[in-house]
Structure 1
């Protein structure tokens, strides 16, 4: 019985200091070539890099850091150690050479299955093939500072190189390290920064957050923030379903976490689940009634559902809160869109003008105002508004397109054609611009070029019955009855209606562009 009591802790993991001392002993004893793998977080790696030379002052220690993918390690090492006396070489950042080969979805990564490679990463192939050169040419102890998943790569994808290991050491995290690492992951400018990251960088960040969520020293109070951060990252990777699951976990732990409810609404909105997204925004607003971003997004989705009065009310709730000027112009702009949808054009113009008082260089408000002026038949003023938008954003193709429409309405066909050409410079596959250009060419009696323009429409959208019908009209005006009938038959086949009805139906194109306008305008 006494023997059993004395052995009660045999299966417990070693203490952090014990693991660290084992590693130091191994490094002190080792001379010549050796391979050591140290499993640690980036923060632990940096602390280890600073501390090791103090612990083993008799050894010459150097650090080789990588911040991007490499395919060949031998050459950088050879160049780095040339004419240097080095006993121990620490290598950090080899993970960057592995991320791009991972072919699983982000969802599978979040489930912890980060080892599905369609091919062996070049760096691991290289290490397998060059292990004898490393041994023969470098009388150095190599220490690879890696996360756990990277060591798995070595085990499964570089077994020849890994088999020569002198030791594998896991440095368990401490509460202080977990706190420091978690704070670093949460210290950011906003999730918009994640959109700028490459896929590989997103994978790196995702793994860091996952590691911190599963650390035994992670506090319950910190987990909701990390789960929310994970959801934000997943949204930027277009993994909205998994993001929602992450936010759900966050609010399960902390039901009054308004930011998680809000971001959950964003993910639901991205999936087109507008009612559920609105409900999520409303949960955020129950907790934080002055959350103007939630009022704004709720308004956007209500507008998307055609509930324009409710959308306006939502924007006006946000305006009562008096958010900072950086955000205020967006609210006036979005209110203007909803008012326009209700046909309350004068009020819409006033709303756009309020946005422009705050942010005169807000091209979307200039464009939205122009579109309402166009609907009111105030064409010259509409052109002025579109041109103000284009001074600010010269490549804003919708403003060029609608400027062309207004110029056509004024009978300025050449100017309209030039405006459509500007659209096509920016967006060559915009079949609506090709169609509008064809229409303007017909009005200027340039039938050959009009036919060529409609042909471009049909290359991009072969089922565009309006283009077939207008081509038929052009051929008829040229006296080419055979071609006119052939094209007319194509239009009839597509519509299953009489050609007289086809002639009236530009509405399909109009509705497509109208949807596009909404997506472009709403903020």
Structure 2
């Protein structure tokens, strides 16, 4: 039900809105009402669309298209039972209307009954004049079922009907990608480009396929053709920059990214990549300048904050690194990557209590790397928080059972807490798996290694016959 806007439509809209304001009743033919409803739906004005549909059906109670609009709005509001009932009524009157099958399929789809939706769309396909739209809907239903082969065929048929349906083109390539059919995708795109040699979207997709295959020179050539086809195609310049980075041609990559800044508002991605390129070229001043611009442009882009923090970390400027990671945490306190860096930086600055907080937060947020458990536990030992350290390492054992580095630490802690049986248990476990890591106890618990019972266990391990 695609309807074009023109001066007549605008006049109808003005009359309709005037009627609403004055509470007067004006007559519109059914097509005018359809155009009005379509306009409101296109612009997301659902309340006005509902009002126009209601008034339209009062003046034209037999209008099928207005009834379908009403059904569409019920589906949009998830009132599926009402929509279903109205469709059944309409189907009795008009069994040859493909829109009834399409909306019925839409209801099945919303109920996650995608196979049933496909059967109805296949019926709609037999009677519709607009096969491309129905094929596109069929393709989406197959995608919901993760049936990428059939989805791919539907979208290919769409493109056979309408070569300018770039949405279908993207979906075809998505299916090829998911199936790891990169060579087949390139062959398909080359055939497509033989008929449409200046299709910038197709060239862009060819570039992406070659990039996945790590054939960067061919990817670069494809992006150049995309730019020749449309010299304002921002995506092609960004992807070209990415390829140039892979080829270590950082100055050219900067040039490609910088072009995008003149075509539209700067993107945080381009600013970040330019910063990375300047850093690779050793131009630290420009690198920092672009990292700063990146986080100013998009304060929610964690890669920007991480880049600027890591830059200062790498250069051992820990106070500056801490300043930026604290700013990042103030914006997004649930980002595990931020807390890991916060912990690491504070540890470097010997701010152990703050470092412990950082590691604890990272662990709470799901960062269960062994290094986080070990470092946090060692900090707690240094702080004299032995009970907390025991809890930390016991939790770590749930993720890393019988891990020697954890076992040695637990052994030392239990001996420190005068729980010798537990200390002996963990010491024996540790010696069984990694006897050479005994130095952990020597370094962290020098007083324990001298204990008579500990010396005896170590001796027995070395000489089991004793």
| Range into which the TM-score falls when normalised by the shorter chain | 0.5 to 0.7
Distance apart, 1:439 and its partner CA: 3.2
Q: Secondary structure at the match of 1:241?
A: coil
Residues 240 and 482 of structure 1: CA distance in aligned 2, closer, same or farther (over 3 Å): same
Q: How does 1:348-427 map to 2 (within 5 A)?
A: 348-356=287-295, 358-359=297-298, 362-427=301-366
Q: Give per-residue Cα distances to partners, 1:60-84, cap 9 Å, x unaligned.
A: 9665557489999799538986xx9
Distance apart, 1:398 and its partner CA: 0.8
Q: Give per-residue Cα distances to partners, 1:427-447, cap 9 Å, x unaligned.
A: 365655444422322332323
- Partner residue of 1:95 out of 105, 110, 131: 105
Aligned to 1:147: 121
Residues 391 and 323 of structure 1: CA distance in aligned 2, closer, same or farther (over 3 Å): farther
Q: TM-score, normalised by structure 1?
A: 0.53
After TM superposition, the structure 1 stretch with the greater mean CA deviation from structure 2, 409-418 or 274-283, is 274-283
Distance 2:290 2:83 in 1: 63
Distance apart, 1:149 and its partner CA: 6.2
RMSD of aligned Cα (Å): 5.2
- Partner residue of 1:212 out of 158, 163, 168: 158
- Partner residue of 1:199 out of 127, 144, 151: 144
Q: Give per-residue Cα distances to partners, 1:144-172, cap 9 Å, x unaligned.
A: x9421679xxxxxxxxxxxxxxxxxx435
Residue 262 of structure 1 pairs with residue 262 of structure 2: no
Distance apart, 1:401 and its partner CA: 1.4
Distance 2:348 2:221 in 1: 44
Distance 2:234 2:62 in 1: 59
The answer to whether the 8 Å contact 2:305/2:324 transfers is: yes
Residues 474 and 373 of structure 1: CA distance in aligned 2, closer, same or farther (over 3 Å): farther
- Partner residue of 1:336 out of 275, 294, 302: 275
Aligned to 2:462: none
The answer to whether the 8 Å contact 1:231/1:244 transfers is: no
Distance 2:385 2:108 in 1: 58
Distance apart, 1:403 and its partner CA: 0.8
Aligned to 2:85: 77
Unaligned 5+ segments in structure 2 are: 1-37, 39-59, 444-466
Distance apart, 1:385 and its partner CA: 0.3
Distance 1:472 1:341 in 2: 46
Distance 2:301 2:83 in 1: 52
Distance 1:502 1:275 in 2: 48
- Partner residue of 1:283 out of 222, 227, 245: 222
The answer to whether the 8 Å contact 1:299/1:314 transfers is: yes
Q: Give per-residue Cα distances to partners, 1:66-110, cap 9 Å, x unaligned.
A: 7489999799538986xx9x85587442224555355xxxxxxxx
- Partner residue of 2:378 out of 436, 439, 443: 439
Q: Give per-residue Cα distances to partners, 1:380-405, cap 9 Å, x unaligned.
A: 22111012222333322211210111
Q: Give per-residue Cα distances to partners, 1:196-226, cap 9 Å, x unaligned.
A: xx93799999786455235xxx25x547x46
Distance 2:355 2:431 in 1: 30
Residues 67 and 503 of structure 1: CA distance in aligned 2, closer, same or farther (over 3 Å): farther
Q: TM-score, normalised by structure 2?
A: 0.58
- Partner residue of 1:485 out of 421, 424, 427: 427
Distance 1:486 1:342 in 2: 52
The answer to whether the 8 Å contact 2:84/2:104 transfers is: no
Higher strand share: 1
Q: Secondary structure at the match of 2:321?
A: helix
Distance 2:306 2:179 in 1: 31
Unaligned 5+ segments in structure 1 are: 1-45, 47-56, 103-116, 125-144, 152-169, 187-193, 505-523
Q: How does 1:111-190 map to 2 (within 5 A)?
A: 146-148=120-122, 170-171=126-127, 173=129, 177=130, 181=133
Q: Give per-residue Cα distances to partners, 1:113-164, cap 9 Å, x unaligned.
A: xxxx6xxx6x99xxxxxxxxxxxxxxxxxxxx9421679xxxxxxxxxxxxx
Distance apart, 1:421 and its partner CA: 3.0
Higher helix share: 2
